[in-house]
Homo-oligomer: A and B are copies of this chain.
């Protein structure tokens, strides 16, 4: 058994979250036990990878048998700290922002939006379907502190993203999830996760052209 204090590769953390998806389905369908091979197939990875990823945090399986689904899922949730409630706030209530605050999956996993802001004062006061009213960014500091916000989500246009990131970190937010297409700067104490949806499309475009180059088009 290995303590989790040893360095864990970043990809391992991402995969643990991936593993939990089919595990939820297996639990619901009443499957009691799963092997690393089966789980690997469901997630599109190598079986040894599954075992190694889990081994960073303990011994969750039974040799000759496999992993108990319920127990494994609970273990992963503990590791990823999905077994508690996290408070989020979001800045930038365009289409994407609205889609995120109303996302049921987030709520189900314990990610609660506690406040929504927008730089455009004309939007301030508008009530969202989720119940929140849009607040002005001038209130970020006050509300982030009062509501104990852990994670700030940025869905503003590119030109506002850095200013908003500064406001959020200044208010004490310890991590950011940024959807604006630029690298926001933040103090080292603040974790920043980037999601650039355009990058994914450009990836596909690149591969599509190579494919066309390799094989004749149909």
B-binding residues in A (CB < 8 A): 13-14, 16-18, 21-22, 25, 42-44, 79-82, 86, 88, 94-96, 98-100, 102-103, 105-106, 109, 111, 150-151, 174-175, 177, 181-183, 189, 191, 193, 195-209, 211
Which one of B96, B109, B182, B211 contacts A201 once the chains associate, using CB atoms below 8 Å?
A: B109
**Whole-angstrom distance between the Cβ of A169 and the nearest chain B Cβ:** 14
Residues of B within 8 A of A13 (CB): 202-203, 206
A200-B182 contact given A103-B96, A205-B81, A206-B80, CB 8 Å threshold? no
Which one of B17, B88, B196, B207 contacts A198 once the chains associate, using CB atoms below 8 Å?
A: B17
Residues of B within 8 A of A205 (CB): 80-82, 86, 150-151
Are B109 and A99 in contact, with the CB atoms below 8 A?
no
Which one of B21, B99, B174 contacts A181 once the chains associate, using CB atoms below 8 Å?
A: B21
- Distance of A25 Cα from B100 Cα, bound (Å): 27
A81-B209 contact given A42-B183, A96-B99, A102-B95, CB 8 Å threshold? yes
